[in-house]
Amino acid sequence: MADQMTDPMARNDGAGPGGAIEQPGWLGRILEGKTGSRALSLAIALGLEALLILLLFMIGWTWREETDMAETVTTFKASDFSAEASEPETQQDAPEPAQTQPQPQQVQPVTPPPPPQPAPLPEPPLPVPNPLNINTQPAAPPAPAPAPTSAPPQTAPPVAAPSRTYGPPNTGSNSRSSDSQRVGTAPNGEPLYAARWYREPTRQELQGYLSTASNPSTALIACRTVPDFYVDDCELIGESPQGSQIGRAVLAAAWQFRVRPALIGGRSQVGSWVRIRIDYTNNARR
């Protein structure tokens, strides 16, 4: 077919052979050229879009792999058995992560067990206090030192004194009908006589009170006699050594003393004042 130059707006109303409509040749080429450019542009655009979608998909897949790897590492360090059971399913969906280097475990120092403590030794039995020495006589003054002589002095053998002595000082009379010896003045100004025991106090009666006093020590108390051979209104005259606490102990134990009233003119005077001396000594040290 020969190309014909016609007006672009002109239309060929005539029909060719067979009734087909014929278009100008240059317009067909233009249309064919435009169609090819559009197809190429469309193909390039579709390719760019496909590449962009592929990049986004790859970025998302990489982020998902990192997330799966982090979750896998966290699950591997946990001690829960349920997480270990679900680990194979996660590894099937995600690619196997790189094997992490195990952390060196810190070795805990082993503390040796403390040595067994020795069993406590039994306490030694408390020493049994020796019998009390209760003496109502005044202490004898120390003997004077002998004068130095050319020949060594001969000493007489010591006389063993009884461990307990009761009653007033020995006046040389053995008669019980003699009057009591006056040894001083009572706290109220009345005469004070030496005491004579009606019944000796027992060791058990005095031990609980004298346990707080120093040993050896001595106490002097003045008491007023009352009926049934008891004493009352006792007061401390003195104690030796000072601060030995024996005076307070003897006053506390005086309620159980049984003492005879003073004998004046052969008659017992209930209500008279008597002096009682208590010597607290250790016989083993005398």
Say if residue 275's pLDDT is above 50.
yes
Contacts for 140-147: CB closer than 8 Å, 24+ residues apart:
none
pTM over 0.75: no
Cα(281)–Cα(256) distance, rounded to whole angstroms?
20
Helices (H), 101-202: none
| Three-class SS state of 37 | helix
The residue among 235 and 74 whose pLDDT is bigger is 235
Confidence at 125, pLDDT banded by 50, 70, 90: low
What CA dihedral angle connects 265, 266, 268 and 273, to 10 degrees? 50
Measuring CA to CA, which residue among 28, 23, 25, 1 is closest to residue 12?
Answer: 23
Mean pLDDT of 134-151: 54
pLDDT tens digits, residue range 185-232? 999 999 999 999 999 888 888 888 988 888 889 999 999 999 999 999
Output the pLDDT for position 226. 96
